[in-house]
């Protein structure tokens, strides 16, 4: 039902939200969670904007371009922070966030052209 244009980006946002929330929960269970405090905060930030972006795409928001640019910015920051940590769940975030940032930027450029 969602225009094909968005489907790939919705999937990328869902994977990123998933990875971030998984890492958030896992980090809060770690013995050494003190070193993960920034990562925990960014995981939540990233999951929240991904969730917002997903719904914006499904309702074909007229502001999808700007929303996805914001999502890409936060995904980049989350990937950067998680790359400071060797935990498997942090490493999984890096890939998911980077792919999501890339997908968001691709769409926001296409939307720009059509606007």
Residues that bind a copy of itself (CB under 8 A): 1-2, 10, 14, 17-19, 21-22, 24-25, 28-29, 31, 33-34, 37, 40-42, 44-45, 47-49, 51-52, 54-56, 58-63, 66-67, 70, 73-74, 77, 92
Task: Pick the closest to residue 103 from 69, 78, 62, 66 (CA basis).
Answer: 69
| Helix, strand, coil abundance in the chain, percent, nearest 5 | 85, 0, 15
Q: CA 11 to CA 59: how far, in whole Å?
A: 15
């Amino acid at each position: 039902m969602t225009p094909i244009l968005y489907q790939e980006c919705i999937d990328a946002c869902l994977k990123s939200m998933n990875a971030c929330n998984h890492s958030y929960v896992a980090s809060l269970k770690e013995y050494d969670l003190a070193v993960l405090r920034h990562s925990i905060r960014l995981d939540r930030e990233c999951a929240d904007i991904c969730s917002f972006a997903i719904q914006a795409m499904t309702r074909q928001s007229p502001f999808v371009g700007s929303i996805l640019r914001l999502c890409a910015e936060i995904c980049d920051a989350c990937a950067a922070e998680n790359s400071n940590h060797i935990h498997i769940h942090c490493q999984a975030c890096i890939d998911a966030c980077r792919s999501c940032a890339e997908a968001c930027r691709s769409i926001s450029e296409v939307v720009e052209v059509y606007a």
